[in-house]
Amino acid sequence: MAVYRKTYQPYEGVVTPAWSRFLIIPRYAFEEMRKSRFLSLFALGSLVFPLINAFIIYMSHNLGALQAVGLEVPRFLSAQVLFLTLLGFQNMLALFLAFFAGPGLVSPDLANNALPLYLSRPFSRAEYCLGKGSVLLILMSLMTWVPGLLLFGFESYYEGFGWMRENLRLASGIFFGSWIWILFLTLLSLAISAWVKWKPVAAALLFGTVFVSGGIAAMINATLSTQWGHIINITHLVGSVWMGLLGEPVRRGAGAVFFRVARGEEIPLWCCWASLLSICGFCLYLLAKKVKGVEVAR
């Protein structure tokens, strides 16, 4: 119907499947983000390191090309170290993305009372959170496990099927390790965004939760001569979980400095899982308390 027919018309056409509607939120968010030069550059910049790694992999399997032009053959890093470094670096970038994009996810909707508009439609609170979370999950995936697995496939192409089969744990570690981190970050960002309306404060709180927790953990460890302070050190917890996923050999490797687990300071793996899950549970509780159609004054 043309816009000049200014009359109310009921809608009787087809409707989209209910399961896919949460994806509308990230689509609109990405359209907005595209307008931000900084975020666009950041997203592009995050692909530089995987490209460098792809170049390293290519060169390490094309030594003949180097020798042919008379260059000395360099000594490249092992594949395991390369992938672990990539995992650590890219996931650190994901954290910075959360600093920039996370605080603005829910807080503007709360400040502008937009939640009743979302939730008065056939659209649930869970879908709202999933939609908002998808903004980060999709971007972070494109930064972390997607390039990681692409590089793994690239390396497998050169090394052959046998290598791929032997190192499948590395691929699964990249995939699940990244997912654990980005899910954790997403939940934390959403919860902080839901409770702190002022973006800089929300970003600072997110920063503090991740970094200051490490400092506090170090103080507890030093004061009480224990390693249990790491139970609140988020990067330590994530690093420990990664080690569990990637296996013992990685422990000796370099890379993933940001998520490093110092020798002798390990805490049991189940404690790390329990601590991470508790924080996630708390974030979900905070979200459930805040993401509502209406606030009730009891």
Partner 1 sequence: MQPVIELDGLVVRFGERPILKELSGSFSGRAIGLLGPNGAGKSTLINTLLGFHKPAAGTARILGRDIRSEARAVRALTGYMPENDAFIANMSGVRFVRLMAELSGLPREQAMERAHEAFFYVGLGEARYRNIGTYSLGMKQMAKLAQAVVHGPRLLFLDEPTNGLDPPARRRMIQLIQEIAGRGDVHLVISSHLLRDVEECCDQVLILRDGRIAAFCNLEEERRANRRFLELETRGSSEDFIRDVERMGCETAVSSTGRLKLVLPDGLQIRSLYELACARQVQIRRLHHKRDSLEDIFLKAMENGHGRL
Using CB under 8 A, list all residues that contact partner 1: 1, 3-16, 18, 21, 24, 28, 32, 108-109, 111-114, 116-124, 292-294, 296-298
CA-CA distance, 72 to 76, in Å (whole number)?
12
What minimum distance in Å lies between the beta carbon of 295 and partner 1? 10
CB nearer to partner 1: pick between 29 and 203: 29
DSSP 29-57: HHHHHTT-HHHHHHHHHTTHHHHHHHHHH
3-state secondary structure of 72: coil
Q: How far is the CB of 15 from partner 1 (least distance, A)?
A: 3
- Report the residue number, 28 or 55, with the smaller CB distance to partner 1: 28
> Smaller CB distance to partner 1: residue 122 or 264?
122
Q: What is the 3-state secondary structure (H, E, C) of 169-185?
A: HHHHHHHHHHHHHHHHH
Taking alpha carbons only, the member of 29, 153, 157, 141 closest to residue 90 is 141
Nearer to partner 1, 50 or 103 (CB): 103
Q: Helices (DSSP H) in the chain: which residue ranges? A: 24-33, 37-45, 48-60, 63-68, 79-101, 107-111, 115-119, 125-143, 145-159, 161-166, 168-195, 199-207, 213-224, 234-246, 248-251, 269-290
Q: How many residues belong to the chain? A: 298
Q: Rounded to the nearest whole angstrom, what is the least distance from the CB of residue 196 to partner 1 in the complex?
A: 16
DSSP tag of 73: P
Distance in angstroms (rounded) separating the CA atoms of residues 198 and 103:
8
CB of residue 132 to partner 1, shortest distance in Å:
12
Nearer to partner 1, 165 or 298 (CB): 298
Nearer to partner 1, 120 or 223 (CB): 120
In the bound complex, what is the minimum distance in angstroms from residue 32's beta carbon to partner 1?
A: 7
Find the shortest distance in angstroms from Cβ 114 to partner 1: 5
